[in-house]
Protein backbone atom coordinates (compact mmCIF):
# COMPACT_ATOMS: atom_id res chain seq x y z
CA UNK A 1 0.00 0.00 0.00
CA UNK A 2 2.97 2.21 0.39
CA UNK A 3 2.79 4.52 -2.53
CA UNK A 4 5.81 6.57 -3.22
CA UNK A 5 5.04 10.07 -4.20
CA UNK A 6 3.85 10.51 -7.71
CA UNK A 7 3.10 14.16 -7.49
CA UNK A 8 6.26 15.79 -6.34
CA UNK A 9 7.27 16.84 -9.79
CA UNK A 10 8.54 20.38 -9.76
CA UNK A 11 7.76 20.80 -6.10
CA UNK A 12 9.32 23.94 -4.79
CA UNK A 13 10.74 23.26 -1.39
CA UNK A 14 8.47 25.63 0.47
CA UNK A 15 5.68 23.09 0.11
CA UNK A 16 5.13 21.27 3.36
CA UNK A 17 5.69 17.55 2.88
CA UNK A 18 3.08 15.31 4.41
CA UNK A 19 2.64 11.58 4.98
CA UNK A 20 -0.93 10.38 5.48
CA UNK A 21 -1.33 7.46 7.87
CA UNK A 22 -4.77 5.87 7.89
CA UNK A 23 -5.94 2.32 7.49
CA UNK A 24 -8.73 3.37 5.16
CA UNK A 25 -7.36 3.61 1.63
CA UNK A 26 -10.41 5.55 0.53
CA UNK A 27 -9.83 8.17 3.14
CA UNK A 28 -6.15 8.52 2.33
CA UNK A 29 -6.99 9.09 -1.28
CA UNK A 30 -9.64 11.61 -0.32
CA UNK A 31 -7.24 13.59 1.85
CA UNK A 32 -4.54 13.50 -0.78
CA UNK A 33 -6.91 14.64 -3.53
CA UNK A 34 -8.29 17.39 -1.36
CA UNK A 35 -4.92 18.71 -0.25
CA UNK A 36 -3.47 18.67 -3.72
CA UNK A 37 -6.40 20.18 -5.53
CA UNK A 38 -6.43 23.33 -3.46
CA UNK A 39 -6.17 26.56 -5.42
CA UNK A 40 -3.23 27.83 -3.41
CA UNK A 41 -1.23 24.70 -2.85
CA UNK A 42 0.85 24.71 0.30
CA UNK A 43 1.08 21.01 0.99
CA UNK A 44 2.49 18.05 -0.86
CA UNK A 45 1.60 14.48 0.06
CA UNK A 46 4.80 12.48 -0.30
CA UNK A 47 3.65 9.18 1.09
CA UNK A 48 0.83 7.12 2.52
CA UNK A 49 0.71 4.26 4.97
CA UNK A 50 -2.08 1.92 5.96
CA UNK A 51 -0.66 0.30 9.07
CA UNK A 52 1.64 1.02 11.97
CA UNK A 53 4.56 -0.86 10.44
CA UNK A 54 4.12 0.81 7.09
CA UNK A 55 3.89 4.17 8.79
CA UNK A 56 7.16 3.63 10.62
CA UNK A 57 8.84 2.60 7.38
CA UNK A 58 7.43 5.42 5.28
CA UNK A 59 8.15 8.09 7.85
CA UNK A 60 11.70 6.81 8.20
CA UNK A 61 12.18 6.79 4.47
CA UNK A 62 10.43 10.00 3.47
CA UNK A 63 11.16 12.11 6.52
CA UNK A 64 8.13 14.33 5.99
CA UNK A 65 7.56 17.65 7.71
CA UNK A 66 4.17 16.61 9.02
CA UNK A 67 2.42 13.28 9.53
CA UNK A 68 -1.37 13.21 9.41
CA UNK A 69 -2.13 10.44 11.82
CA UNK A 70 -5.29 8.42 12.28
CA UNK A 71 -5.92 7.62 15.92
CA UNK A 72 -7.66 4.30 15.43
CA UNK A 73 -5.73 1.68 13.57
CA UNK A 74 -5.06 -2.00 14.12
CA UNK A 75 -1.93 -2.85 16.14
CA UNK A 76 -1.95 0.06 18.50
CA UNK A 77 -3.13 2.95 16.37
CA UNK A 78 -1.69 6.40 16.25
CA UNK A 79 -0.12 6.20 19.69
CA UNK A 80 1.98 3.23 18.53
CA UNK A 81 3.21 5.15 15.51
CA UNK A 82 4.09 8.08 17.74
CA UNK A 83 5.98 6.02 20.26
CA UNK A 84 7.93 4.18 17.57
CA UNK A 85 8.89 7.09 15.36
CA UNK A 86 9.31 10.03 17.67
CA UNK A 87 12.56 8.91 19.29
CA UNK A 88 14.26 8.52 15.91
CA UNK A 89 12.67 11.43 14.12
CA UNK A 90 12.15 14.18 16.63
CA UNK A 91 11.76 16.73 13.84
CA UNK A 92 8.68 15.13 12.34
CA UNK A 93 5.51 16.81 13.57
CA UNK A 94 2.33 14.83 14.09
CA UNK A 95 -1.19 16.10 13.59
CA UNK A 96 -3.92 13.72 14.67
CA UNK A 97 -6.75 13.41 12.21
CA UNK A 98 -9.54 11.31 13.56
CA UNK A 99 -13.16 10.49 13.15
CA UNK A 100 -13.40 10.09 16.87
CA UNK A 101 -14.40 12.90 19.15
CA UNK A 102 -13.96 10.79 22.25
CA UNK A 103 -12.11 12.66 24.96
CA UNK A 104 -9.92 9.71 25.73
CA UNK A 105 -8.66 9.47 22.17
CA UNK A 106 -8.02 13.16 21.94
CA UNK A 107 -6.12 13.50 25.17
CA UNK A 108 -4.17 10.26 24.79
CA UNK A 109 -2.85 11.07 21.33
CA UNK A 110 -1.96 14.57 22.43
CA UNK A 111 -0.13 13.16 25.40
CA UNK A 112 1.64 10.73 23.11
CA UNK A 113 3.16 13.72 21.36
CA UNK A 114 0.83 14.95 18.62
CA UNK A 115 0.93 18.72 18.10
CA UNK A 116 -2.74 19.00 17.33
CA UNK A 117 -6.01 17.27 16.78
CA UNK A 118 -8.57 17.85 14.07
CA UNK A 119 -11.59 15.82 13.11
CA UNK A 120 -11.99 14.25 9.71
CA UNK A 121 -14.91 16.42 8.71
CA UNK A 122 -12.56 19.38 8.50
CA UNK A 123 -12.45 21.01 5.06
CA UNK A 124 -9.43 20.65 2.80
CA UNK A 125 -8.58 24.32 3.14
CA UNK A 126 -8.65 24.20 6.93
CA UNK A 127 -6.65 20.99 6.96
CA UNK A 128 -3.95 22.53 4.79
CA UNK A 129 -3.84 25.54 7.11
CA UNK A 130 -3.57 23.28 10.13
CA UNK A 131 -0.70 21.39 8.50
CA UNK A 132 1.17 24.59 7.77
CA UNK A 133 0.61 25.80 11.29
CA UNK A 134 1.90 22.68 13.04
CA UNK A 135 4.87 22.71 10.69
CA UNK A 136 5.65 26.22 11.88
CA UNK A 137 5.72 24.98 15.45
CA UNK A 138 2.21 25.92 16.46
CA UNK A 139 -0.28 23.74 18.20
CA UNK A 140 -3.58 23.19 16.47
CA UNK A 141 -6.48 23.24 18.86
CA UNK A 142 -9.91 22.57 17.50
CA UNK A 143 -12.71 24.11 19.57
CA UNK A 144 -13.47 20.67 20.93
CA UNK A 145 -9.91 19.99 21.98
CA UNK A 146 -9.82 23.38 23.67
CA UNK A 147 -13.00 22.44 25.53
CA UNK A 148 -11.55 19.11 26.63
CA UNK A 149 -8.40 20.71 27.93
CA UNK A 150 -10.31 23.41 29.77
CA UNK A 151 -12.42 20.77 31.38
CA UNK A 152 -9.46 18.58 32.25
CA UNK A 153 -7.64 21.44 33.90
CA UNK A 154 -10.67 22.77 35.67
CA UNK A 155 -10.11 23.19 39.39
CA UNK A 156 -12.62 20.82 40.77
CA UNK A 157 -13.31 20.97 44.45
CA UNK A 158 -11.38 18.21 46.15
CA UNK A 159 -8.87 17.85 43.38
CA UNK A 160 -5.91 15.98 44.75
CA UNK A 161 -2.60 14.61 43.70
CA UNK A 162 -1.25 17.73 42.10
CA UNK A 163 2.36 16.77 41.58
CA UNK A 164 3.83 19.91 40.16
CA UNK A 165 1.76 23.00 40.86
CA UNK A 166 3.82 25.13 38.50
CA UNK A 167 3.13 22.78 35.64
CA UNK A 168 -0.33 21.76 36.55
CA UNK A 169 -2.08 25.07 36.42
CA UNK A 170 -3.09 27.00 33.39
CA UNK A 171 -2.44 30.67 33.76
CA UNK A 172 -5.33 33.06 33.60
CA UNK A 173 -4.24 34.21 30.18
CA UNK A 174 -3.98 30.67 28.87
CA UNK A 175 -7.50 30.01 30.07
CA UNK A 176 -8.75 33.11 28.30
CA UNK A 177 -7.13 32.02 25.06
CA UNK A 178 -8.50 28.50 25.39
CA UNK A 179 -12.00 29.81 26.04
CA UNK A 180 -11.95 31.92 22.92
CA UNK A 181 -10.56 28.99 20.93
CA UNK A 182 -13.40 26.85 22.21
CA UNK A 183 -15.80 29.52 21.00
CA UNK A 184 -14.44 29.07 17.50
CA UNK A 185 -12.36 32.22 17.29
CA UNK A 186 -9.27 32.46 15.13
CA UNK A 187 -5.86 33.42 16.50
CA UNK A 188 -6.17 36.81 14.89
CA UNK A 189 -9.52 37.49 16.47
CA UNK A 190 -8.26 36.30 19.84
CA UNK A 191 -5.23 38.57 19.58
CA UNK A 192 -7.45 41.55 18.81
CA UNK A 193 -9.84 40.74 21.64
CA UNK A 194 -7.18 40.30 24.30
CA UNK A 195 -5.02 43.10 22.92
CA UNK A 196 -1.98 40.91 22.46
CA UNK A 197 -0.05 39.87 19.38
CA UNK A 198 -0.86 36.78 17.35
CA UNK A 199 2.54 35.45 18.29
CA UNK A 200 1.67 35.73 21.95
CA UNK A 201 -1.53 33.80 21.31
CA UNK A 202 0.53 31.10 19.65
CA UNK A 203 2.90 31.03 22.58
CA UNK A 204 0.03 30.59 24.99
CA UNK A 205 -1.45 27.76 22.97
CA UNK A 206 1.91 26.00 22.67
CA UNK A 207 2.37 26.29 26.40
CA UNK A 208 -1.08 24.81 27.03
CA UNK A 209 -0.14 21.94 24.74
CA UNK A 210 3.07 21.38 26.64
CA UNK A 211 1.23 21.32 29.94
CA UNK A 212 -1.32 18.90 28.58
CA UNK A 213 1.43 16.63 27.35
CA UNK A 214 3.73 16.61 30.31
CA UNK A 215 1.44 17.21 33.22
CA UNK A 216 1.51 14.46 35.75
CA UNK A 217 -1.77 15.69 36.97
CA UNK A 218 -3.78 13.00 38.59
CA UNK A 219 -6.98 14.74 37.60
CA UNK A 220 -6.03 14.61 33.95
CA UNK A 221 -5.53 10.88 34.02
CA UNK A 222 -8.67 10.23 35.93
CA UNK A 223 -10.63 12.58 33.78
CA UNK A 224 -9.50 10.82 30.65
CA UNK A 225 -10.07 7.35 32.01
CA UNK A 226 -13.55 8.28 33.17
CA UNK A 227 -14.37 8.84 29.56
CA UNK A 228 -12.92 5.62 28.39
CA UNK A 229 -14.06 4.11 25.14
CA UNK A 230 -15.90 0.80 25.25
Partner 1 sequence: MDDVEDVAPRPDRVDTGVGPAIDPAVDPAVDPAATSTDGAGGTDGAAPSPATAPAPPAAPTAAVVRRVRRRREGAVIAGVAGGIADHLGVDVLRVRLVFVLLVAAAGAGFAAYALLWLFCPIEPRGVRRAVPPRERRQGLGLATLGVLLALVLSGIGGQLSGWVVGPLAVVLTGVALVWREADTPDAEAGLAQRSRRLVGGRLGLLRLLAGAVLVTAGIAAFLLGNVDLSQVQFGLLAALATLAGVVVLTVPWWMRLVRELGAERRERIRGQERADIAAHLHDSVLQTLALIQKQAGEDVAGREVRRLARSQERELRAWLYGPPGGDAGHPAGAGDATFAAALASTAGEVEDDYGLRVAPVVVGDAPLDPDTTALVAAAREAMVNAAKHAGVDEVDVYAEVEPETVEVFVRDRGRGFDPDAVPEDRRGLAGSVRDRMTRHGGRVRLRTAPGEGTEVGLVLPRARRGTHGAPSNGTSETPLEEEAR
> What is the C-alpha to C-alpha distance for residues 2 and 22, in angstroms, rounded to an integer?
11
Residue 111 near partner 1 by CB under 8 A: yes
Instruction: Report the nearest approach of partner 1 to the CB of residue 156 (Å).
Output: 7
Closer of 63 and 86 to partner 1 (Cβ) = 86
Among 96, 112, 118, 130, binds partner 1 (CB under 8 A): 112
Residue 209 near partner 1 by CB under 8 A: yes
> What is the C-alpha to C-alpha distance for residues 157 and 117, in angstroms, rounded to an integer?
29
Closer of 8 and 83 to partner 1 (Cβ) = 83
**Beta strand residue intervals within the chain, DSSP E:** 16-21, 43-49, 66-69, 93-98, 116-119, 140-141
> What is the C-alpha to C-alpha distance for residues 22 and 98, in angstroms, rounded to an integer?
9
Among 10, 26, 40, 195, binds partner 1 (CB under 8 A): 26
Residue 197 near partner 1 by CB under 8 A: no
Among 11, 151, 192, 197, binds partner 1 (CB under 8 A): 151
Instruction: Report the nearest approach of partner 1 to the CB of residue 157 (Å).
Output: 7
Residue 38 near partner 1 by CB under 8 A: no
**Rounded to the nearest 5°, which phi and psi values hold at 95?**
-125, 120
Instruction: Give the binding-site size for partner 1 (rule: CB under 8 A).
Output: 72
**Residue environment code for 54-63, b if the CB has 16+ CB neighbours within 10 A, otherwise e:** bbbebbeebe
Amino acid sequence: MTEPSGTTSGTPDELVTVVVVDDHALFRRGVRAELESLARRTVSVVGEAGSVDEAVAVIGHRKPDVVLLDVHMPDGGGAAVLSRTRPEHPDVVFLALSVSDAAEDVISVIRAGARGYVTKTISGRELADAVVRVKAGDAVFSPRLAGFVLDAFADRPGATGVVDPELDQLTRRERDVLRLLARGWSYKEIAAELVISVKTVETHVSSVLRKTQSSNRHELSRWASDRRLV
